[in-house]
Amino acid sequence: MSATQERTAVDAVPTQLFIGGEWIDASGGATLDVEDPSTGEVIASVADATPDDAKAALDAACAVQETWATHAPRERGEILRRAYESMVARADELALVMTLEMGKPLAESKAEVTYAAEFLRWFSEEAVRIEGRFGTAPNGVGRLITMKQPVGPCYAITPWNFPAAMGTRKIGPAIAAGCTMIIKPAQQTPLSMLALVKIFEEAGLPAGVLNVLTASSSAEVSAPIIGDPRLRKLTFTGSTAVGIKLVEQSAPGLLRTSMELGGNAPFLVFADADVDAAVEGAVIAKMRNIGEACTAANRFHVASSIADEFAEKLARKLGEMKVGRGVEDDVKVGPLIDATQRGKVAELVDDAKDKGASVLVGGSEREGAGYFFDPTVLAGVSPDARLLKEEIFGPVAPVIGFDDEEAAIAAANDTEYGLVAYLYTNDIKRAFRVSEKLQTGMIGLNQGLVSNAAAPFGGVKASGFGREGGREGIDEYLEIKYIAMAM
Ligand code: NAD
């Protein structure tokens, strides 16, 4: 990839706010720098919204809510379908922008663009399937009718790790349901969202239905929106700590919320599993998105009889992965998002080492520009190591042995989080027995990837509540109204 190609891709992305169908500068005139985490260089500056801009975005979303709600479902679906097709057609340029602002290898960015587009296709099909019920009251006298209606104006806040997909799985169902939306991407990765919003504009989405705010202080621009009684829903993907703050802010207004929060996924390998298949799955579950995924396997609990074999094979695979700028050929591991994130990963690895863990591969930061950390496998990890409790968000795989099924389940559930668990076994009864006992919203059974636009994504415990994608995804944007009818 040449420097000119990189520049051209970034220059094609709008850098202003999109409010009420207009691209405008931030009212304070300030801008926010966007950095390439593989070089530390600034690649673009985008508008830095103020609380006044936030209010203007909410005004715009509220102004068109009523007309948008009565827009023909088929037309709403067709706009989503056109946006889907445009994303697929431009997957290469969108992927390049994503890699430049977020760091993941180009092939992974392209996979995210395709995955993100799938939500638009899925919800384009769901827009025409919003249905109610009709029933006779138990006493036979009256009739009970239920209908589903759009919730109203929504506010979406998204993280930097999946800059497009975390947006489309909120925008897709909101548009399908007839809701208007203001979306605020993470300050580290605003470009992918701005490019996406432009695609919606070109797909014919009416002005005001989708508005985007980019801002250096998310707290400042979010507070006036969340505190306004006209807002009817907040949907957030990000860390548990911020999710808790947002639920607190939403409480006085009893604002409806969806929270897709952090994870600490266990990866269980039983002695009856195919070890090589488990290692393949582990590479995906751990290394997708450089380990910076809420679904990333954090803790590898492996039957003691095969733990050494599993750890050695995993270490060999991770050691073979080429680390570098995501735009370079054959690179499989890009940089972490910033110095803070890399510092946290190093701290967790050092803590595990201090408590007796041995490093089978990797274990340290790379010298020079960019926030690189070598793929790492740790064995002999002490139960009190911090990385078994805290979300690692980096390319680090701790392997821990277990003696029996009960111990494996107890270890897997020994976390405040409950997003996803991975389970490798060739015993079908064990697969169901263990799946029923795992305290998570999702399970990868003999596979290291669960994300699918057609399935309900979400967690329990400190991983939040609400589901995105699947048939359940649109219900997050619909209210149920019941009509009691006399006969
Ligand atoms: P983060 O919580 O720091 O930030 C997420 C978003 O919230 C960003 O847009 C940020 O600007 C905004 N934000 C931060 N503080 C805020 C405040 N006080 N008020 C309003 N907005 C605020 O998380 P992150 O570091 O961007 O993302 C990583 C986290 O996201 C991880 O914990 C990861 O597990 C989680 N995540 C969860 C899912 C899921 O679906 N469960 C998916 C991806 C990422």
- Nearest atom (ligand 1) to Cα of 419: 41
Say yes or no: CB of residue 462 within 6 Å of ligand 1: no
What average pLDDT is seen over the chain? 98
Residue 260 CB contacts under 8 Å (≥ 6 apart), including other chains:
166, 236, 237, 238, 294, 457, 458, 459, 463, 464, 466, 468
Nearest to 34 by CA among 103, 117, 94: 103
Say yes or no: CB of residue 237 within 6 Å of ligand 1: yes
Q: How many CB atoms lie within 10 A of CB 13?
A: 23
Question: Which H or E element spans position 33?
Answer: strand 31-36
Give mean pLDDT, residues 340-360. Answer: 97
Give, in order, the Cα–Cα distances in Å from 393 to each of 5, 105, 286, 433: 30, 16, 10, 29
Q: Rounded distance, CA 298 to CA 393, Å?
A: 8
Q: For 179, which DSSP code?
A: -
What's the confidence (pLDDT) of residue 159? 98
406 labelled catalytic: no
128-159 burial, b for 16+ CB within 10 Å, e for fewer?
eebeeeeeeeeeeeeeeeeebebbbbbbbbbb
Q: What is the pLDDT of residues 74-132, one digit of tens each?
A: 999 999 999 999 999 999 999 999 999 999 999 999 999 999 999 999 999 999 999 99
What's the confidence (pLDDT) of residue 93? 97
Residue 356 CB contacts under 8 Å (≥ 6 apart), including other chains:
380, 381, 382
3-state secondary structure of 22: strand
What's the confidence (pLDDT) of residue 384? 94
Provide the sign of the torsion angle of the four alpha carbons 249, 251, 252, 255, taken in this order. positive
Q: What is the pLDDT of residues 182-194, one digit of tens each?
A: 999 999 999 999 9
How many Å lie between the centroid of ligand 1 and the Cα of residue 395? 19
Query: β-pairing, 133-136 with 143-150?
Result: antiparallel
Joined together, the tokens standing for residue 45 give 């500056």
Q: Which listed residue (35, 260, 390, 476) is catalytic?
A: 260
What's the confidence (pLDDT) of residue 37? 98
What's the confidence (pLDDT) of residue 1? 79
φ/ψ (deg, to 5) at 125? -80, -30
Q: What is the pLDDT of residues 53-76, one digit of tens each?
A: 999 999 999 999 999 999 999 999
Q: Which domains does the chain have, with CATH numbers?
A: 3-261+464-486 (3.40.605.10), 265-452 (3.40.309.10)
- Nearest atom (ligand 1) to Cα of 238: 30
Percent of the chain past pLDDT 90, that is, above it, reads: 100
Strands (E), 345-430: 358-361, 376-379, 396-402, 417-418, 420-424
Q: For 216, which DSSP code?
A: S
Give mean pLDDT, residues 39-51. Answer: 98
What's the confidence (pLDDT) of residue 469? 98
Q: What is the pLDDT of residues 241-265, one digit of tens each?
A: 999 999 999 999 999 999 999 999 9
* ipTM for the whole complex: 0.96
Say yes or no: CB of residue 239 within 6 Å of ligand 1: yes
List the residue whose alpha carbon is closest to atom 42 of ligand 1: 294
Joined together, the tokens standing for residue 389 give 């409790």
How many Å lie between the centroid of ligand 1 and the Cα of residue 159? 5
How many Å lie between the centroid of ligand 1 and the Cα of residue 258? 13
Say yes or no: CB of residue 458 within 6 Å of ligand 1: no
3-state secondary structure of 237: strand
Say yes or no: CB of residue 265 within 6 Å of ligand 1: no
pTM, rounded to two decimals:
0.98
Whether 256 and 234 have beta carbons less than 8 Å apart is answered as yes
Q: Rounded distance, CA 377 to CA 286, Å?
A: 10
Amino acid identity of 128?
V
Say yes or no: CB of residue 262 within 6 Å of ligand 1: yes
Joined together, the tokens standing for residue 353 give 């080492």
Which of 32, 212, 242, 292 to mutate for ligand 1's pocket (most ligand atoms within 8 Å of CB)? 242
Give mean pLDDT, residues 336-360. Answer: 97
How many Å lie between the centroid of ligand 1 and the Cα of residue 238? 2
Q: What is the pLDDT of residues 436-464, one digit of tens each?
A: 999 999 999 999 999 999 999 999 999 99
3-state secondary structure of 356: coil
| Helix pair 73-89, 190-202: axis angle to 10 deg | 130
Whether 279 and 310 have beta carbons less than 8 Å apart is answered as yes
| Helix pair 190-202, 165-177: axis angle to 10 deg | 30
Q: Rounded distance, CA 310 to CA 356, Å?
A: 19
Say yes or no: CB of residue 440 within 6 Å of ligand 1: no
Joined together, the tokens standing for residue 401 give 């042995």
What's the confidence (pLDDT) of residue 439? 98
